[in-house]
Every structure is written in structure tokens, then in C-alpha cells.
Structure 1
Amino acid sequence: MTDARIAVELQEPPSPIGRNSSELPAGVDDAIAVTVASGGDSHLVDVAWKNLTVTSRKMKRPLLNNVTGAITDGFYAIMGPSGSGKSTLLNTLACRLDRGVNVQGELKLNGQDYSNAELKKLSGYVMQDDLLNAHLTVEETLRYTAELRMPRTTTPEERQERVETVMNSVGLTHVRDVIVGSPIKKGISGGERKRLCVAMELLTKPKLLFLDEPTSGLDSVTALSLCRLLRRLAMSRLCTVVTTIHQPQAKIFNLFDQLLLLNRGAIVYQGPAQDALDFFDRSGFPCPLHENPADHFLDVITPNHNDSVESLVAKEESLAKHYQPPPVEHLLDNPRPLVLPRDATPWHMQFRVLLRRSVKEVWRKRSTTLVLLLQTIIIAVLIGTVFLQIGTDQKSVVRRQPVLFFCVINQGMFGALIVINSFPSERMLALRERAAGTYHVSAYFLAKVTAETVSQLPAPIIFACIVYWLVGLQAVAAKFFIFMGFMILCSTAATSLALAVSAIARTTDMSVTILPMALEICRLFGGFFLSPANLPKYFVWLDALSYVKYTYVGISLNELTGLELYCTPPQLNAQGKCPITSGEQTINALGLDYLNMGQCAGILVAYIFICRFIAYLGVRFLKH
């Protein structure tokens, strides 16, 4: 592309809106020019539809009723009152409809039928809600997105160059190192969040950019700034921009090239935005002087409770009489080739990138991990001092089992409560990233659970080091490390159970309600209060599902095997003998000999894998 052509394409058509120098950082227009120059093939694609009807099993009235139209290039606004079908049309074109929705009619991209997978490679989609990772900076968000979504043949240098170019083009360079933040964590502003969402989609050089209510929740100045940015992107022929918008201010309305006006699932008007005034004038509804055209259009097509049925029918008939659907046959019947970019990164690269991202998130949330470690140390010291050096006399027989059970309960609680919010808090973000084809679910799940598991390993290790020696359990190195291993398995099993609950539960409130009940059941059937032999038959299955039981039996066998006990003179029985002289006697008395340590460890490992597989299925298939 020549410099002259770039200059021509970047000239903004005459508009009643002049540029406000404060709306975006300096250099944004130059950055857009660079983006266009480096964008490769600038030929845009078109979408055409004819007799398109969209129905839902939940609603009797069609969401879209026999509509015809096309999108070629420019800046498109899809307007209409609430419930008119704006988002339905946008999501139909973008292949983002929910399950249970039926689509009938012709819908083609460059004259060809297209699939969701093909459209993902050619388009970007910005949701109404700014679903972003609160713990990453602006630059990190864009860099990870580039690594996951740009073609696998792209070099690291090219990715970073693309990130810099796009970040500059949307005016985010000045906040590149600022944390994105959340409602409870200060970060970038609302307008900057929306521009970041746009920037993430621009990284892949889309031919189509869909936006659902991008100005929702923004003040008038920020909304105008964002729409001016989108207009410049459209006029630079970087991509065709299609956005739904409810009731824009006059300055924003004047930025649109094309207008699609919908009401009750039908298109009332489609054509140049500035020609809509003439259309409504011809239909008998002229726009009063100094009134916002967008407000006037919506006032005309939105039913008023004071209007009679006859006036509403007459209004609809007048609008329908003067509206002529655009001719789309030449777009539908003339197939043009679709140049699809190469596939994005393979699975192993996705896992590596997502693991680095997850580790960074964990590090940014390290205060939570530090609190867990502090709790662990405090509880470990308390248990160790309460049962300080229990010894090996007859009294220790009574004290040893409670302290072992307390160890299991402790390691099965804190870690589980920390991860319970893992998936509910990120579910919508993960769904957005998956809908954009960012990664495979398995890569995301494995990276996340790996990072969280590693971050929680120090807690059971520190706990074992403190408790084991303060309590005075057998001073044998092998037994100490076996005890530590069971503490790690117990903590991991509990967090695995919590992950499964969090992945299946619809909300955080539901998960924090279910998990304590599940943990309490595991404690009740943990082998300390009742041995399996004394359980009612109809509760045996609950006993088998308790990770607490396998940990408790495992560390009990580890501690009691080879333990020699003695008696003080007052502890001798009537025959002058010591009642219990070995740990094996305690094992037999408590009925703990139905399992061995290897079986306990193996069952815990299987328990961990099964719970995490259930969690994966929840993340993969439950979208709520």
C-alpha cells in the first residue's frame, strides 16, 4: 500500500463533529495508519442475509422475523428499543447465539456459507460486559492474548511489535503498566477497559469487528471518544465495525456511516445514517429542529401507552410502505474467496502461555497465600503445644489419635476454602475467551490447577515440619516424610474436591454453601468417630468417598507401626503387666488394619484425579 493511499484512507469524512484533542492520547491516528500499513491484505469481507428468521424455544414470538440486509464496509450502528432484536441480529451474524435458538434463511460471508470456526479467524467480538483479568496489566493482557491468538508462525518480536502498535492505536500506552483492576481493586478507567477489549480483538487483524453496546456504562465524553476511535478504525479500512447501540447522543449518531433500525424483530430502516432523516420525513414523521435524530427515530417506533391500536398500526404501515430492503442477491450469489489466517498456537504452547499467566495471577494474589501460610503456622503451633511431646507411655495412646485426626482436618479445610471461588469468579471470562477461540479448555484447566496446586504446596509442608516434631511423633526420617506426603495428599484431595464443587456450582454463593457440607460429611466418615465395621450399611458408600478416612488411616498406620510403648508404675494392670506395649495392638484395637499405607496413598491419588476430572467436565460443558 502506498503512502498516498494510506493518507487518503485515513482522511475522516466531513462530520459535524470536530476532533477533541483531549479524547485520546496524541499519536493515535498515526498509530492507526501504521496498523493499516502493516495489516497485509486490506480487502474487507461482506455479510449478507435474506429472509432470516431466528426463533427461540422459550419465546413464542420470533426474535428476528424474515429480515433481509447486508454489511459491506464502514461503521454500522444497529439501533432499536429494548427487545427489538439488536443483540440477536448481531449475535446471529457473529455466530454467538445460545443453544436452543433456531436460525432459518440465507446467511453468507462473501457469498459463501460460513461456520463459527471460520468466522472466528476473520472477526473480533467485544461483549457488553468488560470481562478482563483483574490481576494483569494492560500490556500483559495484550501480550498473552497475542501469544494465544496470533498465528503460530508469528515470531515473538512480531507479536511484541503488534502489541505495541495496537496499544498505541487505541490510546493505552500511558497505562501499559497499570493493573486492569476490578470493582473492588482499583485499576484503569471504564473507557480504558473498553478500549482494551477493542485492542484485544484488533491484535488478530480482524476483517469484521462486532461490538455489543460498547458505550453502556460510560459517561458521554468517554462514549464519544470510544466511538470516534471505532470510526477511525472503520474509515481506515482496517476492518468493518458493526455495533449495537441503544440511544446514542447526537454527536455519536453523526459518526455512523450506516444505520440498521429494528423494531419487534423486523428491520424498519437500513441505509446511510444521514438518509434516515429523509426516510422518516417521507413516512410522515419529520424530525423536529434541534432534536437528536436517534431519539426521534426511537420515539417514533417505540409504542407509547397513550397510542391507540389504530395509530400504532398506521405508523407501522407507513414505515413499511416507504422501506425497501437493500438488494442482496449480488452478494449472496457471487461467491468470493475467503482468505483465512493460519491456525493459532498449538495445545502445548497454549498450556505454557496459560501456565505463565496463571502463575503471574497467583503471584499478584500472594497476599491470600501468605494468609494461608500464617494460618497454617498458627494452627500448627497451637496443635503442637497442646499435644506437646506426648511421649510413649499409656496416656499417649489416648492422645495420639486425636492429634492425628486434627492434622487431617486442618489440612483438609484451609486450602479447600481458598480455591472454592476459583472457577465461578472466572467462568464468564473463560467463556468469553473460549468463544473467541483463544485456547482449548483442557489447556486452560490444566494450567490453572497446576499453578494453584504448586502455590499451595508450602502450607502442608510447613505444617508437617512444625507439628511432627512438636508433638513428638516417631523420630524416624522415613516416617516423617511419609507423614508429610500424606499431609500433601490430604490438602490436594481437599482442594480437588473444592475445585469440583466450584466448577459445577452455578454461583459462588452456591459453591460456598455446598462445600462446607461436603467437608463435614468427609470429617464425619473419617474413621475417627466410627470405624467402617460399625457403620450402617446404607452409609458405607459415604465412608468410601471420604478422603479424610484414607489420610487418617494412612498416618495412623505410619505412626503406630513399630511404635514401642511403656508403662509407668501406676499404669500397670493388676497382673503387673503393661496393657499396651506396641502400636500394632492399637491398630488392631481400633480396626485400622483393613488397609495399608500404600492403598491409602493410592486411593488418595485416584481421588485427586477423579475430582479434578469432574472439575474439568464442569468447566468444559457447564456454561450456566
Structure 2
Amino acid sequence: MQLLNRPQLLFLDEPTSGLDSVTALDLLRTFHSLAHGRSSEKVVTIVCSIHQPQSKIFYLFDSLILLKQGNIVYQGPRQQAMDVYRMAGFPCPLYSNPADHLLDVITPARTIDDQSASSEKQTDADKLILAVQAPVEIDLNMGAHKRIAQMADLPKNPLWITQFFILLRRNFQEQIRSSKIIVTSVIQTIIIAILIGCVFLQIGNGQSSILRRSPVIFFCAINQGIFGALMVINSFPVERALSLRERASGTYYASAYFTAKILADTLVQAPVPVLFSCIVYFLVGFQLVASKFFIFTVIIILCSFAATSLALMISALCKTTDMSVTVLPMALEVTRLFGGFFLAPARLPKYFSWLDALSYIKYVYVALSLNELEDLKLTCTANELAAGKCITEGEVTIRDLGLDYISIGGCIGVLFAFIIGWRVIAFFGIRYLKH
């Protein structure tokens, strides 16, 4: 990511470690092209350590520093290294890797028997190599004229949209690498949805179905809230150190990083509540009306996004993963307690009204209840009619539960406000909190 902004100086510690020979060669060729850019490009000075390079990689270097026990044995152009060794009496054999030869000469024996015998030889070899080298003159203005000539043509930092798409691709690649977690989440969603559907299988339109609808609706709300929050709670603490370092070097803007992260998570997360809705809605036997199924699905998606937004805010404001994982359950418990199922909002003490207003689950529960109970026609048995305890319309239940103080559109609007507001707070946490 640091190469995105083409820094003037780049330090690399064994960049070829763990790579095969072909990939390592391609990587070093890329570095070589960065260090020898055209006059219209921003040249990058690259300093790197490397372990046992092949000959093709060796010839890509411009200058070498050979170290032995913290002391410099050779420092200078790569082309002169073999001449210095030859003048010191250590010519490179034919068909040998020059890099291996340079290190073999200054490397002491590995066995105990040979170590004492070779110690004096190694000391003499080091002295000879140092003796034949010309004094190293450090030109503090080295490259200055070339850089001054480049100043007028220096490329600007990548556009915000370029940063965004590069970061978006990186986030998608990370999602692919964690595909097992995503698959596990999908499987869990399917299992839970089937269990809910089987427990409340085809509740029907009888009088008893009134009492059974509220629990299943509330459980749908808290279930999707938990799954949405758990998927993203570790997002920012894990990446904070890397993000701060990359942003400090001017690699990208915080807004580009945050937007790409949010979009990637959203696109991966969105199918889960849709799948949940398709299974639960028809197994439970909610009203078979296309518009009501669509509204149910939209509200479940917004529930998942609201929980995700709450978790993102907590993740952005907390310093560590342990802290965010500790705070999230408490926040979710509060939203469930004031979710409108255990106690109607009208019956809450006034000093808890602010917690009631901040419970996104309440608005999900109310919206789902209104969607299901409105225009619902209920049936009665002969005994229920004779007893005069028959409710034939769902609107009566809405009034009895005290859910007629807000509309479905109002609930959706509040959920959008939560989603946007909590994500804005999360962005400011990412942007300004350095921890």
C-alpha cells in the first residue's frame, strides 16, 4: 500500500522471504523499475536486506553493503564488488553465483573443528578486502539534480476515487481469505432460520396466533442484530496500527479507507438477512402478500445494518479487540431490554425514555409488528364467539399493544438515522482517535 503514494525512501526487510524464485525475481524487477523510473516519474530509493539471492536478483542491485558481525566488510557499487574480491585474492569461480561467493569468503566455518583454523583466515580475508577498497565518498547531494528536475513533473497523490477502489479491492481480497467465516455465518443463519420456522411453524390466523406472532417477530429482530454485530466487531482494532501507519505516510485518506471498508462489509453482509427472511417468512406463515414480504425483508436488512453500525462505532471507539468485545454485549442487552416486547414504551419510567429512544430493536420490532398485523384477518371458533372474546382484525392488537404511536415509514426513517449517525461517529473515531 505504501507504494501507492511512491515514497521517496522505502525500507524493506527480506521482501523475498517465503517466495518462490520466479515470484522473487518478478518482485525485485518491479523494485528495480521503481528505482530507475523515467524522468517524468517519481524515483523511489529502495534499501532492503536480502537472504541468499539468486544471480539474476543479484545483478538488479545498484549498491551493496556486506556486513559481518555488525561491521562493514564491503560498501560500494555492485559492479565493483567482484573486482575488489579479485584484487584481494578471492576471485569468483566460473559458473558460481556471485552473491554466494561474496558471502562464502567472509563467512566463518560452521563446524567446531574448522572454526579455530579458519578464524585467522577470515580475519585476513576481511582485512584484505577492506584494504583494496577505495575510500567511500558519501555525496550528500547524490541524486539532488535529478530530483530537482523531477519536481515540476512529480505525480500528485492518487485521486480519492482511485484510493477508494484500490482499498475496496483489498477489502474484498481479505473477505475472500476469510471465506470460511462467511460460510459459517451463512450456515448458522440457515440453521437458526429453520429452527425458528419449525418452532413457530404455520401459526395460522386463529386467536392463539396473536400471542405467537409477537415472540417470533421479536426473536427475528434480536437474532439478525446479533449476527450483524458479531461479523464486524473486530474490524477496526485489528487494523488500527496498519491503518495509522499507512495514513501517516500519506498513502490514502481516512475517508477512502472507511468508505471502502464499509462498502465491502455491506456487500458481503446484505445477502444474509435476505436469506433469513426468505426462510422464516414462509415457514412461520406470515401474510402471503408480496408487499408485506418485501417490507419484512427490508426491515430485517435495516436491522442487520443498524446492529452493524452500532458494532462499527464501538469497534472504532475502543482501543483493543478485547475492549470492543466486552462493550458490545452490554450495548446489545440494553437495546433488547428496551426493545418494546417486554414492556411497552408508554409504560416505561420517564427517566428511561432516552434509552428507549436509542434502542434500534424497538423500531425493528414495532415496524415488523405493524407490517404483519395491519390488514390481518383473524378467525374465531364457536366457543370464542359465544364468549365474546374474538378479535377479528389485527389493528385491534396494534392498539392493545400500544404500537400505534408510529408508522412503518417512521420506524424505517429512524433506523436509517441510526445507521448513518453511528457510522459517522465511527468515521470520526477512525479519523481522530490515535489511541
**TM-score of Structure 1 vs Structure 2, range by shorter chain:** 0.7 to 0.9
1:445–1:175 distance in 2 versus 1, CA, 3 Å: farther
2:344 corresponds to 1:531:
yes
What are the Cα deviations for residues 463-518 of structure 1, in whole angstroms up to 9, with x where unaligned?
10110111111111100110000000001111111111111211111111111111
Tell me: CA distance 1:201–1:376, structure 2 relative to 1, closer, same or farther (3 Å): farther
Say if 1:549 and 1:443 are closer, same or farther in 2 by CA, change over 3 A.
same
Q: CA deviation at 1:534?
A: 1.6
Q: What secondary structure does 2:343 align onto?
A: coil
Indicate if the aligned counterparts of 1:384 and 1:467 stay in contact, CA closer than 8 A.
yes
In structure 2, the residue matched to 1:250 is 69
| Cross-structure match for 2:97 | none
Superposed CA offset, 1:298-351 (max 9, x none): xxxxxxxxxxxxxxxxxxxxxxxxxxxx999999xx9x9473321132111222
Q: Which has a greater percent of strand?
A: 1
1:618 aligns to 2:429 (yes or no): yes
Contact 2:29–2:60 (8 Å) recurs in 1: no
After TM superposition, the structure 1 = structure 2 runs for residues 69-468 of structure 1, keeping only pairs within 5 Å, are 123-126=8-11, 174=21, 176=23, 206-209=43-46, 233=61, 235=63, 249-250=68-69, 253-256=72-75, 337=148, 339-340=150-151, 341-468=154-281
- 1:394-449 C-alpha deviation (Å, 9 max, x unpaired): 11111110000000011001121111111122222222322332222211211111
Provide closer, same or farther for how the CA distance between residues 199 and 516 of structure 1 changes in structure 2, counting only shifts above 3 A: farther
When normalised by structure 2's length, the TM-score is 0.73
The Cα shift of 1:601 comes to 0.6
Q: Distance between the aligned counterparts of 1:356 and 1:381, measured in 2?
A: 34
- Amino acid in the other structure paired with 2:73: N
Worse-matched range after superposition: 589-598 or 342-351: 342-351
What is the distance in 2 between the residues matched to 1:529 and 1:199? Answer: 67
1:576 to 384, 387, 390: 387
SS of equivalent residue, structure 1 residue 254: strand
- Residues 563 and 582 of structure 1 are in contact (CA less than 8 Å); yes or no, is this contact kept in structure 2? yes
Structure 1 residues 430 and 230, CA gap change in structure 2 (3 angstroms):
farther
Determine if contact 1:224/1:251 at 8 Å carries over to the other structure: no
Q: What SS class does the counterpart of residue 231 from structure 2 fall into?
A: helix
Partner of 2:330: 517
Write the distance in 2 (CA, Å) between the matches of 1:172 and 1:200. 19
**Residues 175 and 355 of structure 1: CA distance in aligned 2, closer, same or farther (over 3 Å):** farther
8 A Cα contact 2:42 2:155, kept in partner: no
- 1:232, 1:329 → 2: CA distance? 23
1:126 Cα offset (Å): 3.6
Letter in 2 for 1:489: L
More displaced stretch, 422-431 vs 443-452? 422-431
| Aligned amino acid, residue 497 of structure 1 | L
| Structure 1 counterpart of 2:63, one-letter code | M
The alignment covers a number of residue pairs equal to: 366
Could you tell me how far 1:233 is from its partner in structure 2?
4.0
Evaluate the alpha carbon distance shift between residue 231 and residue 476 of structure 1 in structure 2; reply closer, same or farther with a 3 A threshold: same
CA contact (8 A) 2:10 2:44 kept: no
Contact 1:126 1:198 (8 Å CA) reproduced: no
CA drift at 1:198: 7.6
User: CA distance change for structure 1 residues 452 and 329 in 2, over 3 Å: closer, same or farther?
Assistant: closer
**Are 2:6 and 2:42, in contact at CA under 8 Å, matched by a contact in 1?**
no
TM-score, with normalisation over the residues of structure 1? Answer: 0.52
Whole-Å separation in 1 of the counterparts to 2:324 and 2:34:
33
Structure 2 CA distance for aligned equivalents of residues 200 and 493 of structure 1: 47
Distance 2:294 2:10 in 1: 52
Gap regions ≥5 residues in structure 1: 1-119, 131-137, 139-166, 177-190, 215-221, 242-247, 258-287, 293-325
Which residue of structure 2 aligns with residue 543 of structure 1?
356
Change (3 A) 1:522 1:198: farther
1:253 counterpart SS class: strand
Distance 1:200 1:551 in 2: 56
Q: Report the CA distance shift for 1:329/1:494 in structure 2 as closer, same or farther (over 3 A).
A: closer
Residue 593 of structure 1: aligned partner: 404
Structure 2 unaligned spans of 5+: 77-118, 124-136
For the Cα contact (< 8 Å) 1:172–1:196, is it kept in 2? no
Amino acid in structure 2 at the alignment position of 1:562: D
1:387–1:621 distance in 2 versus 1, CA, 3 Å:
same
After superposition, the Cα gap between the structure-2 partners of 1:492 and 1:230, relative to the gap in structure 1 and judged at 3 Å, is farther
Residue 606 in structure 1 maps to residue 417 in structure 2 = yes
8 Å contact 1:489–1:604 — kept in the other structure?
yes
* CA offsets 1:180-239 (integer angstroms, 9 cap, x no match): xxxxxxxxxxx99x989989986986454477xx7xxxxxxx66769xx89974528xxx
Distance 2:209 2:233 in 1: 37
Name the CA distance, whole Å, in 1 between partners of 2:188 and 2:384: 38
Q: Is 2:295 the counterpart of 1:488?
A: no
Equivalent pair of 1:486/1:554 in contact (CA under 8 Å): yes
RMSD over equivalenced CA pairs, Å: 3.9
Match of 1:295 in 2: none
Task: Indicate how the Cα distance of structure 1 residues 291 and 197 shifts in structure 2: closer, same or farther if over 3 A, else same.
Answer: farther
Distance 1:126 1:545, change over 3 A: farther
Deviation at 1:253, TM superposition (A): 3.3
Q: Is the 8 A contact 1:486 1:555 kept in 2?
A: yes
Deviations 1:265-316, CA, capped at 9 Å, x for gaps: xxxxxxxxxxxxxxxxxxxxxxx98999xxxxxxxxxxxxxxxxxxxxxxxx
Greater per-residue helix proportion: 2
Could you report, residue by residue, the CA deviation over 1:105-146 in whole angstroms, capped at 9, with x for unpaired residues? xxxxxxxxxxxxxxx765134488x9xxxxxxx9xxxxxxxx
Contact 1:492–1:608, Cα closer than 8 Å, also in 2? yes
Shift of 1:171: 10
Change (3 A) 1:545 1:255: farther
Q: 1:622 to 1:505 in 2, by over 3 A?
A: same
Aligned residues of 1:417 and 1:498 also touching (Cα < 8 A) = yes
State the distance in 2 between where 1:481 and 1:225 align: 61
Counterpart residue identity of residue 254, structure 1: V
What is the distance in 2 between the residues matched to 1:525 and 1:197?
58
CA deviations over 1:574-611 (Å, ceiling 9, x no partner): x6324322111111111111110001111111111111
Distance 2:74 2:158 in 1: 37
Whether the 8 Å CA contact 2:296–2:371 is kept in 1: the answer is yes
For 1:621, give the aligned amino acid: Y
- How far apart are 1:623 and its partner, in Å? 2.3
Please state how far the C-alpha of 1:460 moved relative to its aligned partner: 0.5
